[in-house]
Structure 1
Amino acid sequence: MKTKLAAIILAAGAGERMQGRKKPLIPLYDKPMIMVLLEHLRACDAVEDVVVVLGCHAAACQAELPRNVETVINREWRKGKTGSFQRGLRAVLDWADGVFACPVDCPRVPCRVYHELAAAFPPGDAILVPTHGGVHGHPPLIPARFFSNYLRLAPDAPLDSVQHDPNTTVRYVEVSSPEVLDDFNTPADLPSA
């Protein structure tokens, strides 16, 4: 039976370090950043389905997204990224064997990275974290056996709290794509056109 993997796009925060710009809607390759990420995920057959978690800029983002995209609104987005991840996780609990946690500010990860992580996924006993040059990147691939650990966290807990728990097995998967290290938090972080 094929492993069913979901992707959760985390796009609920205010992106305060972007100096008033709506981070998910910042143009990247002539498209909003959120669309670049969504298109990469939808083109990847390692990803069964995508859930987009919105919050601060929900209405503006929904106007840019195709109507057939599953969105979840986190009205309590101020509490933190973990609360947003929990909302997305609840949307896939019934069917997903694992989830990619995809921050909107890491939109350029190529499909081959998702395939490499999916290939390393069985038997689903460890959280997989892509690395490039030994540096940890995004997105982690989280097996269903850890979903309850994430759901028990406080919404404002660091999202990587489960990874740092001594009872959690984490495997690092070295990939050739430096895009896993993207972290577009400020205007200076954005690639030049």
Structure 2
Amino acid sequence: MSGLAGIVLAAGISSRFGADNKLLADYGGQAMVRGVVEAALAADLEPVIVVTGHEADDVRQALSGLDVDFAHNADFATGQAGSLKTGIAAVPQACTGAMILLADMPAVNVAIINRLVGEFADEACIVVPRHEGKRGNPVILGRGTFAGLEKTSGDRGARNLLAGDNVRMIDIDTDAVLRDFDTPESLQDH
């Protein structure tokens, strides 16, 4: 194993998607969140931790039967940073880092995940996918960078950590690392 945990951020309200929870929307014949979690489980990540928040019971139901750990972010409405901190707090001490996967990016597949895992060097390392010059997701944070997350708030996620010399930008030949689904129209266009 890689020594990396997988953290799937699945707590958001998805307000731009309308009344429905986009993570429960159909993508490839199943709930979008389930496809992301299945890719994480099939990749070189262990354990896979799913951070819930908005409609937590429905998200858990969509993932029934999968071997995942859950961490609940009661303050999910304050933005992604709280969910990121909740997930990081659940990472076992034995893990050298964690890959942060967004539950609304179902086009990120096992091959992409394992390519990024293969680029992870050490606990001080951050691995970021890039497509045509644009930073994408998922991102790997080495354990040595976890403390830097204390300064994050709102929807900023880990962006404040991505400017150091320890960041490895990895070119990926697909826009899957950039594509999320924020509206019902974007989902229809996939």
| TM-score, scaled relative to structure 1 | 0.90
Count, aligned residues: 189
Instruction: State which of 184, 187, 190 in structure 2 corresponds to 1:190.
Output: 187
Match of 2:11 in 1: 12
| In structure 1, distance between residues paired with 2:46 and 2:130 | 23
Instruction: State which of 50, 60, 63 in structure 2 corresponds to 1:62.
Output: 60
Secondary structure of 1:129's match?
strand
Match of 1:52 in 2: 50
Secondary structure of 1:106's match?
coil
Pairwise CA distance, 1:70:
0.9
Match of 2:172 in 1: 175
Matches within 5 A, 1:91-106: 91-106=90-105
Letter in 1 for 2:151: L
Secondary structure of 1:141's match?
strand
Pairwise CA distance, 1:161:
3.5
Is 2:152–2:160's contact at 8 Å kept on the other side of the alignment?
no
Match of 2:77 in 1: 78
Q: Which consecutive unaligned segments of at least 5 residues does structure 2 have?
A: none
Secondary structure of 1:53's match?
strand
Pairwise CA distance, 1:85:
0.8
- How large is the Cα RMSD of the aligned pairs? 1.8
Is 2:124–2:143's contact at 8 Å kept on the other side of the alignment?
no
Q: Which consecutive unaligned segments of at least 5 residues does structure 1 have?
A: none
Higher mean displacement: 174-183 or 140-149: 174-183
Match of 1:26 in 2: 25
Secondary structure of 2:161's match?
coil
Matches within 5 A, 1:124-139: 124-139=123-138
| In structure 2, distance between residues paired with 1:34 and 1:103 | 9
| In structure 1, distance between residues paired with 2:124 and 2:82 | 24
Pairwise CA distance, 1:49:
1.6
Pairwise CA distance, 1:155:
3.8
Judged with a 3 Å threshold, the aligned counterparts in structure 2 of structure 1 residues 178 and 191 are, in CA distance, closer, same or farther, namely farther
Pairwise CA distance, 1:191:
4.7
Match of 1:163 in 2: 161
Letter in 1 for 2:183: T
| In structure 2, distance between residues paired with 1:17 and 1:183 | 12
Secondary structure of 1:105's match?
coil
Q: Percent identity?
A: 27
Judged with a 3 Å threshold, the aligned counterparts in structure 2 of structure 1 residues 79 and 179 are, in CA distance, closer, same or farther, namely same
Judged with a 3 Å threshold, the aligned counterparts in structure 2 of structure 1 residues 74 and 181 are, in CA distance, closer, same or farther, namely same
| In structure 2, distance between residues paired with 1:88 and 1:135 | 25
Match of 1:89 in 2: 88
| In structure 2, distance between residues paired with 1:132 and 1:124 | 24
Alpha-carbon displacement from aligned partner over 1:81-108 (angstroms, at most 9, x marks no partner): 1101111111114122111111111122
| In structure 2, distance between residues paired with 1:177 and 1:191 | 19
| TM-score, scaled relative to structure 2 | 0.91
